[in-house]
Structure 1
Amino acid sequence: MAKAPKLKNNPQIVTANHLVRGDVVYLTAAAAWSRSITDAAVAPDEAAAADLLAEANAQAARNIVVAPYLVPVEPGSTPPLPVQFRERIRAQGPTTEESATKAA
């Protein structure tokens, strides 16, 4: 099985899930959480990414979000475009239709 590429040299954003709503959220430059990847703070290097992740982990400890982690994004992309396909899907929102979910 092929290993995932190391992407530490890419700019990065922080994502998590909101504890109460369960929504995918992104850490903003104001240390708030947004459901829109457009609002995500982009860390240009590893040191800045570590700072963002430390803030996210502090908020996780206060039970605001669950399991924050870094997501590599394409350099220069506006809005941030995740490198990994899984993260692109998460950024676009749920992949199920509301009516199908209610019918089940």
Structure 2
Amino acid sequence: MAKAPKLDSQPQVVTANDLKSGDVVYLTKVAGWSRRIADASVVANAEAGAALLAIAEAQAKMNIVVAPYLIPVDASSTPPRPIQYREVIRADGPTTEIRKPAA
């Protein structure tokens, strides 16, 4: 099992899953949720990340999202890019392709 990254001084965002749709979502600057990581509120360190996570956990208790957590991102790119491969996949969408039946 991979170890969770240390978030002390890395830029980070909060991610979770939408309770109704199951979609990957990111906490925005106005404490809403977006399916686009480009809309995510990026914070510079663990202290600011803890404040964002507290907002997300409160919304999890209200059954808006499921299992919010912090992820490290490369904030020098636009949109911010997750550092971990798992989170890159979550941000980019499913890795499977839905194929229509041949006519």
TM-score by length of 1: 0.87
Aligned-partner residue type, residue 35 of structure 2: R
Gaps (5+ residues) in structure 1? Answer: none
Answer 1 or 2: which has greater helix percent.
Answer: 1
Gaps (5+ residues) in structure 2? Answer: none
- Kept in 2: contact 1:13–1:41 (CA 8 A): yes
- Relative to structure 1, is the Cα distance of residues 46 and 3 closer, same or farther in structure 2, using a 3 angstrom cutoff? closer
- Kept in 2: contact 1:16–1:68 (CA 8 A): yes
TM-score by length of 2: 0.88
Q: Distance in 2 between matches of 1:89 and 1:11?
A: 19
Q: Which runs of 4+ in 1 moved over 6 A?
A: none
Aligned-partner residue type, residue 20 of structure 1: K
1:28 aligns with 2:28: yes
SS of the aligned residue for 2:99 comes to helix
- Kept in 1: contact 2:5–2:72 (CA 8 A): no
State the number of aligned residues: 101
- What RMSD in Å do the two structures reach over aligned CA positions? 2.0
- Kept in 2: contact 1:10–1:75 (CA 8 A): no
1:71 aligns with 2:71: yes
Superposition map of 1:1-104 within 5 A: 3=3, 5-99=5-99
